[in-house]
Structure formats: C-alpha cells, structure tokens
Amino acid sequence: MGNIDLDDEEIRQRRERRNQRMKEEKRRQMQQRLVARLVVFAGLFVLVLVLLVNGMKKIIHSDEEIAETQTEVVTEYIAEDVPETQRDEVDVVENEPGAVMVGEQEFVAGYEMVETGDTFTIPTSDDMQSEYAILVDASTGTIVGEKNAFSRMNPASMTKILTVLVAAEQIEDLDAEVTISQEAVDYSFANDCSNVGFEVGETVKVRDLFYGTILSSGADAAYELAMCAAGSQEAFVALMNQKLEELGLSDTAHVTNCVGIYDENHYCTVYDMAMILKAAVENDWCREVMSAHVYEIPASEVHPEGMILSNWFLRRIEDKDTGGEVLCAKTGYVVESGNCCASYQIAEDDTPYLCVTGGAHSSWRCINDQVTIYNMP
C-alpha cells in the first residue's frame, strides 16, 4: 500500500510542476506578444510622423514655387493667349500679378473662375426663367452667381464666339477678298441655318465674314470663315477643340461644327462659354466685332444697295436698365438649348462682368433674364 501511495504523490507533484511550466510559458508568450504589439505601434507612429513632416515640406515647397512663378505665369499667358499683333496693347498691371488690361478695364489673367463664400444661387422667378445661368466678375476671377452653371448644354450659335476667336488668331489680312463658295451656301441651306444672304460667287472681304458671323449669326459667313482660316470645316473644328484645350475647358466642352448646329457631341457649360467669351473680349478684333450694333457691307453687283447687318440683342438691351452698359453679345437658339446668350458688361462702378444664360423660352425672355441677373450683384 505504501508504495502505491508514493507513486500517486509523485504523479501529483509532476502534474503541478508541469502546470507551473505551462503557466510560465503562457506568461512568457503573452509578454512577447505585448512587446511585439508595442513595436508595431511604435513603427506605425513613426511612419505617420514621417508622412506628416514630408507632407508639410511639400506644401511649403509648393507655396514657394507658386510665389516664385507668378510673374512667369502672367508672361506665359500673354505669350500664348494674346495674338502677336496685339501683345503690345496688353499691359501687366503693376503690383497686381496675374492681371491684364483689356481696353481700359482690368481683367484677371487666365481662364478659371472660382466660387467663393459670397457666390449665390441665381433663383428662378418671374423675372429670371433661364435654365442655365452664370455671372462672373472678370476683374477678380470670381463667380458672382450661378444656376446649373456646370451642367452640359448645347451652346447653339454662341459657338460662333469661339469661331471668330479661332479665326482671328489664324487670319491676318482682314481686307483680303473671298469668293463665296457653293459649299458654304449649301451647308447653310441644308441645315436650315440663319444666314447673311451671301450668294455663290459673290466677292466679299474677310472682315465682312466676321461681322456676318456675329451680327447676322450667318452660317454662310461662319462656314466660309472656317475655310479661309483652315481650308475646311473639319480642320477648323480641330483648331476650335485645340483652343478649348488651351483654355482648360476640354474636359467639359467639345464642338463638332463651327456654326452651333445641334449634335450630341457638341456641348459645353455656361461656365465654359463665359471663359470663351472672356478670351474673345480680350482679343481686340473680336471685341470690336462683338460690340458692333450695326455693320454695313458695301454695295456690290450682287447687292447693289449693300447689306446692313444688326446685332439684335445689343440694340434691344441698350434700352434696358442693366446697371451699366452691355458692350458685347452673341445669342443662339436650337430647340435643345432654348434661347441663350453670352454677353459682356461694364457696370457703373467700372467692374467688368460676363453673363451667360441658356434655356429661355423666347428671345425676349433671354434678354429680360440677363437684365435681371446684371441687377443682382
């Protein structure tokens, strides 16, 4: 009996020793896991700290680069975006980096306008019914008010602002004579477009085509102008899209023709059109054409009494109280876009504004909507 008891005791002790070793092993493993977690946490902390420090360095470096290159940006803008024949007429405003003078008005350089805390939503009312609208302060580069300003629409004949801008940058001799082609007349007729009334074989000057494109919204003039500038409408449209890219608008704007005929791939936003208008206003020749209320094409054998062209929008809005003077404008209409217009105004306090609207139900509604918007600031 004694030997058996001794064996049981020994077994018990061995079990206790084994349990003790197991407890010690578990304690050691827990300590190792704790140390490993602390090491991982410390590593992550150091990594985050390094990323934050590097991020701050990049921000500081970026700000320094911006400050150092502001003058270079202005110089590049003048070199690339202003026709060579007009560069002497564009002055950088002292102590105002990024500003240029357009006539007697100061414009912010570049073609990007921003919303601020003061930008308001243009409300729909009895006095403002256009579906799309934007009002831009061209002197500060800010969007004063907007309504669906970044939604895609068809620009209709507002497209011709881009047409004359691109043509002005390609054509030097405004007095060169052009013979109206069968192709231009047929294009206008086949697409049921508005036209100046040029006839096949008629000889006109290039400047007549510019005025005909804007004042009469003539597809015959716009098409012939495109052919003068690039040899074909297809080649000219490529230049138009290239210009959109230069203006930084190619992500949201694209054209398929120089007239504004509806096409699902022919589109922009009213914001884009405001930037196109800004570029056109900064071009002296485009600004002159777009500010003409009337223009007379001299008498010819085809038109012995000449032709008088008229900017319908400018002649009618001049009698309205807009809080300033509307100097330039181009209207447009296709069923898909409704009545639309892009205009440029100098307010009574000399602030230059760009206003673009679209989706009005009539031409008079379009005028009244713009009057209402100009009186909002």
| Catalytic machinery residues | 157, 160, 217
Inter-axis angle of helices 219-230 and 159-170, to 10 degrees? 30
Q: How far apart are CA 14 and CA 38, in angstroms?
A: 36
DSSP per-residue letters across 260-300:
----TT-BB-HHHHHHHHHHHHTSHHHHHHHT-SEEEEPP-
* Contact call for residues 357 and 270 (beta carbons, < 8 A): yes
Q: How far is CA 269 from CA 208, 290, 300, in A?
A: 29, 21, 41
Q: Give the closest residue to 98 by CA, choosing from 64, 69, 61, 125.
A: 69
* Contact call for residues 20 and 28 (beta carbons, < 8 A): no
Instruction: Match 């109280």 to its residue by tokens.
Output: 321
DSSP 8-state secondary structure symbol assigned to residue 87: G
Q: How far apart are CA 270 and CA 246, in angstroms?
A: 18
Q: How far apart are CA 274 and CA 357, in angstroms?
A: 10
Tell me the helices (H) and strands (E) count for the chain, helix number first: 10, 12
Q: Name all contacts of 245-254 with Cβ < 8 Å and 24+ positions apart.
A: 246/80, 246/81, 247/111, 247/275, 247/276, 247/279, 248/111, 248/112, 248/275, 249/111, 249/275, 249/276, 252/150, 252/152
